Amino acid sequence: MIDLKLFERDFANVAEKLKSRGVQEDLLKELKELFEEYRAQKSGLQELQTVQNRLSKLFGEYKRKGEDIAELKTRLEENKKNMAAANERLKEIEAKLESLALNIPNIPDEDVPEGVDENDNVEIKRVLEPTKFDFEPKEHYELGEKLGWIDFKRGVKLAKSRFSVLKNEAAALERALINYMLKFNKNRGFEEIWVPAMVNSTALIGTGQLPKFAEDLFKIEKEDLYMIPTAEVPLTNLYQDEIISDLSEPIKMTAYTPCFRKEAGSGGKDVRGMIRQHQFDKVELVAITRPQDSDKVFQEMIACASDLLSSLGLPHRLVALCRGDLGFSAAKTVDLEVWLPGQNRYREISSVSNTRDFQARRAKIRYKENGKNRLVHTLNGSSLAVGRTLIAIMENYQKKDGSIEIPKVLEPYM
């Protein structure tokens, strides 16, 4: 959640930054009107408190002097009622402001590029040259069906569209990738964690999926439980409503989980193959840091994901997301896009974000510094989306006869 005090200090500047993220004018107008009412109500309450203090002082003097206090007592009681009513109204406005704030995205960092969608994202650099073939490379779903690696029809039979079944070498390769990624991340200083695949609504509010993105989540009927859309949710919320006594070193975590998303807004996109599934495997990186450490850790997480792709021999590029393409909780994001020769294009395989104190404020994650409680910074990133890594290996390591070579680093895990 954004810091509402920023609006109080400089509403126009904050509103302008949020407009660049696509926040609608009517929402900002409602927020401004609420802030104006909040300030007026707060000022009125302070005036009533001043009156109450003055009348209370007079009341004491009248009693000491033995003067008639009946009228003064009536005025005190009436003013006390007005104070109670003003305080109640102030609480109502504060609750409305907080409720509204839960639906407002994070403020972008100053160096985030201007832009409205993915077409305005800025390429930072490319790593490894795209694979060159002396034949027309196939897409992963063609290769998978021919080799008996992917069964799309049975995935639909078991569930519905956007589910698939991995078989034979593909199933082994998925498992190998998970184990390889976890070991790679552990060697980079990320502690391996195993977390539940279901979380409650408080956790999802903490990381920003609720209330705004409820339609993208799979909810368990008659339970305050949801299937996780990413391990970012349980990992970050491990420290929900806690004060970390020592954060001199960042808390760095990695976890494998299945992830579940309705893909509510993706109708017609990537309907063939495994690019966009309702259930997919992912290995996640999450860090909790002091504010002064978060930029350094952000670069470490990007390097970890990029080096992991390089170790697999997969060409990729780093892209800075523009303001209009940032995720809800992110203040800054760098996407890693892997080269898919079958599609002849780069596709997102990892997204590394610094949310600053946005999630920490929602989830109440703090740390001790110089005897004071301060909000942490939280960061998250894919390392990597396992299914898309499998796809990238299939397409980049395919042979003319339709067979697929396995990267050397994965052979011990197969």
Does 37 participate in catalysis according to the annotation? no
Does 348 participate in catalysis according to the annotation? yes
Q: CB of 216 within 8 A of CB of 241?
A: no
Question: Which strands sit side by side in the sheet containing 372-375, from one edge to the other?
Answer: 242-244, 365-369, 372-375
Residue 337, SS3 per DSSP: strand
| The two structure tokens encoding residue 338 | 């892997």
CB atoms within 10 A of CB 53: 10
Catalytic residue among 276, 347, 369, 374: 276
Does 136 participate in catalysis according to the annotation? no
| β-strand pairing of 191-192 with 251-260 | parallel
Give me the DSSP letters along 52-94: HHHHHHHHHHHHHHT---HHHHHHHHHHHHHHHHHHHHHHHHH
SS (H, E, C) 228-296: CCCCHHHHHHCCCCEEECCCCCCEEEEEEEEEECCCCCCCCCCCCCCCCCCEEEEEEEEEEECHHHHHH
Does 21 participate in catalysis according to the annotation? no
Report the C-alpha gap between 313 and 311 in whole angstroms.
Answer: 5
Does 306 participate in catalysis according to the annotation? no
Catalytic residue among 351, 353, 382, 383: 351
| The two structure tokens encoding residue 255 | 């976890």
Catalytic residue among 37, 145, 174, 348: 348
Beta strands, E only, 158-215: 165-166, 191-192, 198-199
The DSSP symbol for 49 reads H
Q: Which sign does the torsion angle of CA 311, 316, 318, 324 carry? A: negative
Residue 211, SS3 per DSSP: coil
Q: Which residues contact 403 (CB under 8 A, 6 or more apart)?
A: 147
Cα Rg of the chain, angstroms: 27
Q: CB of 164 within 8 A of CB of 148?
A: no
Report the C-alpha gap between 281 and 283 in whole angstroms.
Answer: 7
Q: Which amino acid is at 34?
A: L
Report the C-alpha gap between 34 and 386 in whole angstroms.
Answer: 45
Residue 328, SS3 per DSSP: coil
Q: Which residues are catalytic?
A: 261, 276, 348, 351, 388
